[in-house]
Structure 1
Amino acid sequence: MAGIMTAAACCLFFISVFMGIKIWKLKRDVFFFSDRLIRCLNDMTCGREPENIEEEGDTLWNKVYERLQKLERIWKRESAENLEEKKKMKSLISDISHQTKTPIANIKLYEEVLLDEGLDSAEAGEFLQKIRIQTEKLDFLLQSMVKMSRLETGIIEVRCMKLPLCGTLQRAVEAIVLKAEKKQIRLSVDCDEDIVVHHDTKWTEEAVFNLLDNAVKYTGREGNIEISVSVQEIFTKISIRDSGKGIALERQAEIFTRFYREPEVYDQEGIGVGLYLARKIITMQGGYIQVCSEVGKGSDFQIYLPNG
């Protein structure tokens, strides 16, 4: 009997020792795990790469560390996106300030002259005409800014449908005819009436008009602007070719950026948003725009819209 009790006591002792060791190891593992986790989180909050202590096998730490890495990548991506948005906003505010500064200053100047100088009716009319031009420029800028913001934020969505392309082009051409006639520029359109393209007719008209307006602006008197349409395997191409001044190769990538204007044409009216808006509109429809141009030999702006 005493032997049995001794054996039981020994068994209980070993079990207690075993459980004590297990509890000690568990506490140690919890301590190490929490210490690693805190260090990783500290590294992440300070912008450092989390230190990884490799463990063999599919351990809990390896699983947690893998998820921490994914979380860190998400944070870094969102942080970079936020920084980029701030840069864009800063650039936009700077651009708006720059674009509005001149017309506002001109309006104030003309207003002071009208108020302070004894002008006859003809001179007063001339200054009022200048004020009207500057006011229209500001109005155009604000309308363009509204269009850009609505397109970029998704407030306005393009609604593409299978529709004849000729009607869209015709409306864009009709809107530019008067400007072209003032410079005696010849406009020609070659488009098969049976061509049907998957597009948003309203916004595509806006994009084509912007390209035509740009062509008229930088084409000399008695020049030519030719619009042609060809159906390809995947895309339908709208080509707007002019006999204008052309664009240097090194500047062709810049002309589609917001508020960009070439140095030689600052005397021309405009604020540099037409091409930006045109590309934005076409891109939102799954298409793209490219330009082929040579200085002194005109430009060919090509819109590619998906067939279906």
Structure 2
Amino acid sequence: MEHGPRHDAPGSVNLATWISRSYLRTAILPLLLIELTFLAIYWVSSNFIYDRNAAAVEKISRDYLSDLAQREALSISGSLDSIAGMTNILAREARRALDLPAPPVSAAEMARYRRTPAGALVTFGGGDKSASFYSGKRGIGPVQIDKVRRLTRIDPLLRDLKETNALVAQSYFNSWDTYNRIYPYMDAADTYPADMDVRTYNFYYEADAQHNPSRRQTWTDAYLDPAGAGWMVSSIAPVYSPQRLEGVVGIDITIGALIEHVLAMNIPWKGYAILVGRDGTMLAIPGPGESDLGVREMRQHAYDRAVTSDTFKPESYNLLRRKDLAPLATLFRDNRAGPTDVTLNGRRMIAARGAVAGPGWKLLVLAPADEILSEAESLRARLQTIGQLMALALFLFYCIFLAYLYARTRKLSKKLSDPLQAIGETIAEIGAGRHDQAAPASGVTEIDALSNSLVHMSRGLAQAYQTISEQERQVSTALQREVTINAAQRRFIDMISHEFRTPLTVIDSCGQILARRADQLKPDDLRQRSVSLRRAVRRCNDVLASALQLLRVEKTGRGEPPRLKRAMWSELVAPAQESLREQYPGRTIEVGDLPATPLQIDPEMMRVAVAAVVDNAARYAGEDGHVRISVQEQDDRTILSVSDSGPGIAPEELAQVKQRFFRGTNSAGTPGAGIGLYLADQILDAHGGALEIHSEKDRGTTVALSLPKPMTWQVDDEGLVLSARDGDTSEQY
């Protein structure tokens, strides 16, 4: 249907013109009123503002100082939280190092350890290594040497904690029996007393059960470090075993590092900050605050002699013990107190407080009041100029804004009509079955919402079709997976039934013969039938044992953890050799020399693995075949090789022989469940070993069981020179 020409009514205007005029009439009067009101308020209130400006600036400054103190305290909390987190990591690693057996330690590392004439055990020649100190107070024997070796595991972490955080001065572990391992290296022999008892120092006892029953990370008060690093605070955490408190780990922050951190704060008005410990001790006092507070910060300490007990800052550094700092003490104690005035060194100061979460410290920010008010006086002069400029700028802005508003409203009608037409065209495309349409954009929220709803509805219909198709595919996949699982179960049942059918047939046959001809059989015949019966029963037992071992392995994914004991190859090979001779009397068995090297294994599991490999070799060697068993020693491994003279394994099947239930094409007529090599591979893997198979067609197969050698250590009586020996069954000190 065609439309005729449009005739506008007399006096009518188009949409753009009507909207533009309406906007201008609506906006001009309020803007003029705003301008006049601003000028009137400015001139009437200027004198009042001048009088109140100083008080307002001071209040703003107080609020700013309070906010600054809280923000900077939060920043310090973040830095300390990271150190607290690193302390917890160090505690967990120390506990893990003590729980695990001692790792291999190089002779060069152990050569650093020497006994002092006073009986202490110390390190010499540090470089980029940790320092070690064992007090001779309790004696040093094999148990203590083993602890030293175990704790070498934490050396990389001690070094990384120091190198990755600029605040960290040193990190360490102290044991209950006065063993100290610390990084960076320091001369422990000259620094520590030979009979030092670390439990008497606050960086140890503040983490014990009495002072820290929650067993969490905590912070010490400021103290003088006996390791020679000067004044510091420490983040410490206990390391517990089921029996007792094994020790305490710590990360030290020097007072100098805290001062540098405080000095880095951007505090206006020539202000400065003071970091105060939870007991009121001023931990970090920057240079500008030393004269105001009447103390000099203890950044360094001259170690004329060893530090034999706790040494804390004097009482003159404690806010709570100085009457002249009572306002600061009140601000420190009262968590609800806001910024306060305090007179220091004859000057009025404004002080604000921020809480440092974690250690319970407080950050006090101080600024001279005269510096704050000097800016207020300057601000008073600037406000007059700013007020005049603002009035002029506001007038110009209104002129520009009205011109811009008129131009923008001219385009509004087009922004309303064009999208409506585009929406109509989109609806037509959707009706034609073309659902993938882009939503017309207009910039108007309601119109865009309408177009988006239409497009989403269309895409929802298309997605519904896709969802149905995807669900059909998923159902098909699930059915296929169910078919695969059922097939595996059927294979397992077929295998078990096949393996049981033959021996049960033999048992039944022997039983029938004995029932019919018991009085006619000779002793030799009876013995022969007995052997057949026992062989059939043994085969049933073997199938059951393999199935049960398979269930044990697959119950936990990789099997139960091995129960490690010391055993010899001969203890594993002998049972398999005897079983082979009984089951396969026609095979030739050749066993090479078995070394006397002890193994660290689960004997029960490893006998299953060896028996499975030997039985597999005998089974496929043939009636007149031979089986050879030998052991080779390598630097860090011992390998048991089992070779047979069978037909070998096809190259394309070699990668599958360790899969459960897999039997190669050459296994037809040979009894077996396809479980043996799978079990052996899982057991070797649980021991950190490997099962390797080498085969050539018509030239036999060799299966190698590779295990790591156990490592033992011997310590010389003269000093602390350690040597590692593979397979040794004793440790000497």
Structure 2 partner of 1:135? 537
- Would you say the 8 A contact 1:207–1:278 is kept in 2? yes
Give the stretch that moved more between structures: 128-137 or 91-100: 128-137
SS of 2:663 mapped into structure 1: coil
For each residue in 1:194-231, what CA deviation from the matched residue of structure 2 results, as whole angstroms up to 9, or x when unmatched?
A: 6x56x544322321232233345538779562321323
Deviation at 1:161, TM superposition (A): 7.3
CA distance in structure 1 between the aligned counterparts of 2:632 and 2:560, rounded to whole angstroms: 22
Structure 1 partner of 2:244? none
Q: 1:108 aligns with which of 508, 514, 529?
A: 508
- Would you say the 8 A contact 1:241–1:300 is kept in 2? yes
Structure 1 partner of 2:641? 240
Instruction: Output aligned runs, 1:288-303, within 5 Å.
Output: 288-294=690-696, 298-303=700-705
For each residue in 1:17-69, what CA deviation from the matched residue of structure 2 results, as whole angstroms up to 9, or x when unmatched?
A: 9776455324313412432432232121111xxxxxxxxxxxxxxxxxxxxxx
Give the stretch that moved more between structures: 167-176 or 298-307: 298-307
* Corresponding position: 1:229 with 2:605: no
- Would you say the 8 A contact 2:629–2:642 is kept in 1? yes
Structure 1 partner of 2:309? none
Are the structure 2 counterparts of residues 104 and 260 from structure 1 closer, same or farther at C-alpha, using a change threshold of 3 Å? same
Structure 2 partner of 1:51? none
* Corresponding position: 1:260 with 2:663: yes
Structure 1 partner of 2:609? 207
CA distance in structure 1 between the aligned counterparts of 2:485 and 2:686, rounded to whole angstroms: 20
CA distance in structure 2 between the aligned counterparts of 1:224 and 1:96, rounded to whole angstroms: 27
- Would you say the 8 A contact 1:246–1:297 is kept in 2? yes
* Corresponding position: 1:120 with 2:523: no
Are the structure 2 counterparts of residues 254 and 144 from structure 1 closer, same or farther at C-alpha, using a change threshold of 3 Å? same
For each residue in 1:130-173, what CA deviation from the matched residue of structure 2 results, as whole angstroms up to 9, or x when unmatched?
A: 33332322222112111112212327834257765xx2522211
Q: 2:461 aligns with which of 35, 55, 65?
A: 35
Structure 1 gap ranges (5+)? 48-71
Instruction: Output aligned runs, 1:1-308, within 5 Å.
Output: 21-22=447-448, 24-47=450-473, 84-117=484-517, 119-122=519-522, 123=525, 126-154=528-556, 157-160=559-562, 164=566, 167-179=567-579, 185-191=589-595, 193=597, 199-217=601-619, 218=621, 225-232=628-635, 236-242=637-643, 244-245=645-646, 247-250=648-651, 252-253=654-655, 255-257=657-659, 258=661, 260=663, 263=666, 266=669, 271-294=673-696, 298-305=700-707
- AA of the residue aligned to 1:102: T
SS of 1:189 mapped into structure 2: coil
Deviation at 1:303, TM superposition (A): 2.0
For each residue in 1:224-272, what CA deviation from the matched residue of structure 2 results, as whole angstroms up to 9, or x when unmatched?
A: 6232132356xx25132446335244464554453637747846x7555
How many residue pairs were aligned?
Answer: 268
- Would you say the 8 A contact 1:279–1:288 is kept in 2? yes
Give the stretch that moved more between structures: 105-114 or 152-161: 152-161
Deviation at 1:126, TM superposition (A): 4.2
| C-alpha RMSD of matched pairs (Å) | 4.4
Structure 1 partner of 2:365? none
- Would you say the 8 A contact 1:238–1:303 is kept in 2? yes
SS of 1:157 mapped into structure 2: coil
Structure 1 partner of 2:401? none
- AA of the residue aligned to 2:639: I
Structure 2 partner of 1:65? none
Structure 1 partner of 2:229? none
When normalised by structure 1's length, the TM-score is: 0.65
Give the structure with the larger helix fraction.
1
Instruction: For CA contacts below 8 A with separation 6 or more, give which structure has more relative contact order.
Output: 1
- Would you say the 8 A contact 1:219–1:243 is kept in 2? no
CA distance in structure 2 between the aligned counterparts of 1:259 and 1:27, rounded to whole angstroms: 58
Are the structure 2 counterparts of residues 270 and 283 from structure 1 closer, same or farther at C-alpha, using a change threshold of 3 Å? same
Are the structure 2 counterparts of residues 201 and 159 from structure 1 closer, same or farther at C-alpha, using a change threshold of 3 Å? farther
CA distance in structure 2 between the aligned counterparts of 1:41 and 1:181, rounded to whole angstroms: 64
SS of 2:704 mapped into structure 1: strand
Structure 2 partner of 1:52? none
SS of 2:502 mapped into structure 1: helix
Structure 2 gap ranges (5+)? 1-17, 24-408, 421-443, 711-733
CA distance in structure 1 between the aligned counterparts of 2:536 and 2:550, rounded to whole angstroms: 21
Deviation at 1:279, TM superposition (A): 2.1
- What percentage of residue pairs aligned between the two structures are identical? 15
CA distance in structure 2 between the aligned counterparts of 1:265 and 1:227, rounded to whole angstroms: 29
SS of 1:300 mapped into structure 2: strand
SS of 2:630 mapped into structure 1: strand
Are the structure 2 counterparts of residues 29 and 224 from structure 1 closer, same or farther at C-alpha, using a change threshold of 3 Å? closer
Are the structure 2 counterparts of residues 109 and 41 from structure 1 closer, same or farther at C-alpha, using a change threshold of 3 Å? same
CA distance in structure 1 between the aligned counterparts of 2:455 and 2:480, rounded to whole angstroms: 36
Are the structure 2 counterparts of residues 150 and 180 from structure 1 closer, same or farther at C-alpha, using a change threshold of 3 Å? closer
CA distance in structure 2 between the aligned counterparts of 1:98 and 1:155, rounded to whole angstroms: 27
When normalised by structure 2's length, the TM-score is: 0.31
- AA of the residue aligned to 1:278: A
- AA of the residue aligned to 1:281: I
Are the structure 2 counterparts of residues 177 and 248 from structure 1 closer, same or farther at C-alpha, using a change threshold of 3 Å? closer
CA distance in structure 1 between the aligned counterparts of 2:456 and 2:504, rounded to whole angstroms: 68
CA distance in structure 2 between the aligned counterparts of 1:243 and 1:39, rounded to whole angstroms: 61
CA distance in structure 1 between the aligned counterparts of 2:511 and 2:22, rounded to whole angstroms: 111
